[in-house]
A = this chain, B = another copy of it.
Amino acid sequence: MTTRVPEPATKRQPLNRDRLLSTAIAIADASGIGALTMRSLAQALDVKPMSLYHHVANKEEILDGIIDVVFGEIELPPADIDWRTAMRRRAVSARQVLARHPWATPLMESRRNPGPVTLGHHDAVIGILRRGGFSIQLTAHAYSMLDAYIYGFALQEAGLPFDNETVPDVAQEMMAEFPTGAYPHLTELAMEHVLQPGYDYGDEFDFGLDLILDSFEALLRSDR
């Protein structure tokens, strides 16, 4: 004999904004941002499309919202460590987060309504630089440059037509389509670098990051 269960464990949770946004992110992660439609989102939430409009004004607000959630995933180091360690950890974390959500980087461009988490992130990073002794001028330089580098790298990484395992196959396939003798330098770089064992495009990130941090360390010293 079964007991009557007034509230079964599988009972549908009431819809709310947080669940809406995290489900939207899950869809984009799994199937790309193109697969995120009001209809697909509603179905994943076990609800009709029109119900979504009770929690967000429109799809734009969903896109603004998920970008703000993604920003919240980036580690903000404690305020009491030195600026270089803090900037390094934030940059590495940002790259990891953007690699986890490859649809997010290009979306940054069109989003012009930064959410509270995004603004808080920017504020904290600027604060770390200022406390580290950066002038306002130098803070602007450093922040602009670091973010350009991080987003640009993430954009390139998201656009790579291969992951680390399929490098040889994809590279060989692409080069097979080259007209004979065309792109000699590209071919050289592929053969003698990209196709060598142990190659990992991701390793490039640390090189450029440290180069930037070195430069600002030198500038900071000569600044005061």
Binding site for B on A (CB under 8 A): 102, 105-112, 119-120, 122-124, 126-127, 130, 136-137, 139-141, 144-145, 147-153, 155-156, 158-159, 161, 178, 182-186, 188-189, 192-194, 201, 204, 207-208, 211-212, 214-215
Contact B145 A111 (CB under 8 A): no
Task: Determine the residue in chain B with the shortest Cβ distance to A108.
Answer: B159
Copies of this protein in the complex = 2
Chain B nearest Cβ from A96, distance in angstroms: 16
What are the residues of chain B within 8 A of A188 when measuring CB–CB?
126, 130, 136
Q: For residue A124, which residues in chain B have a CB less than 8 angstroms away from its CB? A: 185
Q: A58 to B179, alpha carbons, bound, how many Å?
A: 25
A141 CB contact (under 8 Å) in B136, B161, B204: B204
A107 contact set on B, CB distance < 8 A: 106
